[in-house]
């Protein structure tokens, strides 16, 4: 299958091309030419995660990877579970934080790293990525120690949690980290500018591991299938038509993957894109006007994005009829509601963190009688230890992955949000 550039439609590349290039000409996002669909979803749902994921991904990648190669990649990448945990009679959480960096991004980053390693054939590559929190750790761990791949990660200085920062700034080796004096949108803009600079791009073999890279999103499709498979076992197939997913959204990669899954025939009724105060999308869906405000810092900091880079993919799916317009709604949840919701969830016996709480609250606004709401648990609560403990007034333990890096030294350098400084840095160490 080919992937085409949503801005420059004539640019068409295979999966390997899209993975290596990251972003197309004129900053266009790659999008699959066809969305595969499956006749027998029940048979797919009956399979184990890895076997099913190979079937789901195969049509997208078959030009570049045979079934054995894809199976090897998926087996190595998805070596941890995605788990549905019931919360109440009509609510469940899909826990996506059981990977090495305790965040949903482990699925996409590990799949991408294994694909890129296969496709780069020992050519030198620089992965330049911006993180609002968890991408950094997932990408750093997925690529750490891979020969010929240099990873440069930028993040907004002082705007991510200390533990999040420790998880990717302490590795060293082929992982370089830069604390940018600005917000996440500034970091993202620096990545985009770098991609616009042909000379820089070619000299250092630039690639991005942000969710603009289609491989990450394709990997994420697989856990929607896994969620529905687990629900069909728990609830029975007849109950499957009323599932509503609520997705804590920042760059809207997770929503994009969910829409792919629906377009492929997975029985999902609709999606709620839950945002924090950075509410460009809910306002856009209500008024039709795209008018990003200045990004504001919130306790669900990984969603502090006011110009989400995957929105063009979502918009394309809605406008071209790949999915129905009414299958996406969006709601903004404020800080107070987020914290009250964390307390409510704790009373139900579930310790959550701000991102999941935003999504749970959105279900309370957005579901109707008879619908079953699944919200995504995108990060382990311990990654937001301070805010969780302050909100709930009780201590929470650190899982081993976090305890191990908490005492390590941060190796980041500081930099102003200035493209010429970044360019100089990237070229100096090429
Ligand atoms: C914990 C957490 N939740 C939600 C999101 C938002 O996901 P997306 O960018 O796919 O919308 C992120 C992204 O960084 C995240 O780290």
* Residue 336 pLDDT: 98
Residue 348 lies in a domain: yes
When divided into structural domains, the chain yields a total of 1
Contact 250, 303 (CB under 8 A): yes
- Dump pLDDT digits (tens) for 355-364: 999 999 999 9
Residue 18 lies in a domain: no
Residue 248 lies in a domain: yes
For ligand 1, is residue 99 a contact (CB within 6 Å)?
no
Contact 131, 160 (CB under 8 A): yes
The CATH number for 268's domain is 3.40.50.1100
Q: pTM value?
A: 0.92
Q: Where are the beta strands (DSSP E) in 236-335?
A: 243-248, 270-275, 328-332
From the list 358, 348, 353, the residue with the least C-alpha distance to 380 is 353
pLDDT band of 175, cuts 50, 70, 90: very high
For ligand 1, is residue 135 a contact (CB within 6 Å)?
yes
> What is the whole-number distance in angstroms between the Cα of residue 378 and the centre of ligand 1?
7
Question: Which of 105, 250, 276, 362 is the pocket-test mutation for ligand 1 (most atoms within 8 Å of CB)?
Answer: 250
- Between 132 and 192, where is the model more confident? 192
Tokens coding 404: 């191990």
| 83-88 vs 30-32, strand pairing mode | unpaired
- Dump pLDDT digits (tens) for 188-242: 899 989 988 999 999 999 987 877 899 999 999 999 999 999 999 987 766 677 9
pLDDT at 134 > cutoff 80: no
> What is the whole-number distance in angstroms between the Cα of residue 168 and the centre of ligand 1?
16
> What is the whole-number distance in angstroms between the Cα of residue 253 and the centre of ligand 1?
8
Share of the chain above pLDDT 90, in %: 83
Share of the chain above pLDDT 70, in %: 99
Tokens coding 244: 């509503």
Residue 333 lies in a domain: yes
Residue 179 lies in a domain: no
> What is the whole-number distance in angstroms between the Cα of residue 420 and the centre of ligand 1?
29
Residue 113 lies in a domain: no
Q: Which atom of ligand 1 is nearest to the CA of 134?
A: 16
Range of the domain at 368: 80-102+214-392
* Residue 135 pLDDT: 84
For ligand 1, is residue 312 a contact (CB within 6 Å)?
no
Angle made by CA atoms 28, 19, 379, in degrees to the nearest 5? 95
> What is the whole-number distance in angstroms between the Cα of residue 146 and the centre of ligand 1?
25
Element of type H or E holding 416: strand 413-416
- Dump pLDDT digits (tens) for 286-338: 999 999 999 999 999 989 999 999 999 999 999 999 999 999 999 999 999 99
Question: Which of 94, 107, 130, 134 is the pocket-test mutation for ligand 1 (most atoms within 8 Å of CB)?
Answer: 134
User: Which residues, in sequence order, are CB contacts of 178 under 8 Å at separation 6+?
Assistant: 152, 153, 154, 155, 412, 413, 414, 415, 422, 425
Residue 9 lies in a domain: no
For ligand 1, atom 15: residue with the closest CA = 302
Mean pLDDT within 94-115? 95
- Dump pLDDT digits (tens) for 120-129: 887 889 999 9
- Dump pLDDT digits (tens) for 70-85: 999 999 999 999 999 9
Q: Measured between alpha carbons, how far is 186 from 192 in angstroms, rounded to an integer?
A: 10
For ligand 1, atom 13: residue with the closest CA = 302
Residue 220 lies in a domain: yes
* Residue 86 pLDDT: 96
Contact 355, 293 (CB under 8 A): no
Q: Which atom of ligand 1 is nearest to the CA of 353?
A: 1
Least confident of 110-114, 266-270, 365-369: 365-369
Mean residue pLDDT across the chain: 94
């Amino acid at each position: 299958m080919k992937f085409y550039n949503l801005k420059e439609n004539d640019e068409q590349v295979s999966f390997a091309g899209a993975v290596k290039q990251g972003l197309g000409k004129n900053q266009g996002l790659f999008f699959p030419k066809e969305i595969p669909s499956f006749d027998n979803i029940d048979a797919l749902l009956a399979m184990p995660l890895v076997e099913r994921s190979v079937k789901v991904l195969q049509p997208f990648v078959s030009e570049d990877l045979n079934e054995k190669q894809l199976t090897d990649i998926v087996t190595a990448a998805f070596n941890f579970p995605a788990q549905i945990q019931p919360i109440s009679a009509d609510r469940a959480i899909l826990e996506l934080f059981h990977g090495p960096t305790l965040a949903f991004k482990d699925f996409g980053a590990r799949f991408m790293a294994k694909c890129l390693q296969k496709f780069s054939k020992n050519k030198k590559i620089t992965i330049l990525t911006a993180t609002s929190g968890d991408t950094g750790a997932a990408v750093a761990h997925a690529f750490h120690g891979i020969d010929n791949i240099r990873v440069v990660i930028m993040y907004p200085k002082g705007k991510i949690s200390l533990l999040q920062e420790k998880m990717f700034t302490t590795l060293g080796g082929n992982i370089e980290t830069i604390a940018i004096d600005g917000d996440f949108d500034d970091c993202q803009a620096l990545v985009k500018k770098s991609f616009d600079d042909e000379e820089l791009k070619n000299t250092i073999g630039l690639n991005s591991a942000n969710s603009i890279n289609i491989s990450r999103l394709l990997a994420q499709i697989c856990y929607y299938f896994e969620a529905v498979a687990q629900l069909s076992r728990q609830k029975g197939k007849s109950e499957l038509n009323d599932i509503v997913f609520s997705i804590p959204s920042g760059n809207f990669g997770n929503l994009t993957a969910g829409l792919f899954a629906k377009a492929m025939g997975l029985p999902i009724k609709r999606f709620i894109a839950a945002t924090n105060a950075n509410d460009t999308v809910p306002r856009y869906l209500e008024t039709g006007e795209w008018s990003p405000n200045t990004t504001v810092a919130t306790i669900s900091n990984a969603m502090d994005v006011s110009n989400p880079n995957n929105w063009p993919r979502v918009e394309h799916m809605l406008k071209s009829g790949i999915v129905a317009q009414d299958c996406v709604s969006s709601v903004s949840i404020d800080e107070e509601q987020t914290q009250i919701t964390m307390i409510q969830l704790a009373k139900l016996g579930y310790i959550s963190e701000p991102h999941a709480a935003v999504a749970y609250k959105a279900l309370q606004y957005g579901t109707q009688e008879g619908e079953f709401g699944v919200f995504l648990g995108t990060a382990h609560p311990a990654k937001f230890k301070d805010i969780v403990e302050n909100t709930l007034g009780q201590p929470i333990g650190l899982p081993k992955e976090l305890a191990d890096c908490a005492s390590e030294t941060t190796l980041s350098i500081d930099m102003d949000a200035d493209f010429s400084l970044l360019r100089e840095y990237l070229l100096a160490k090429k």
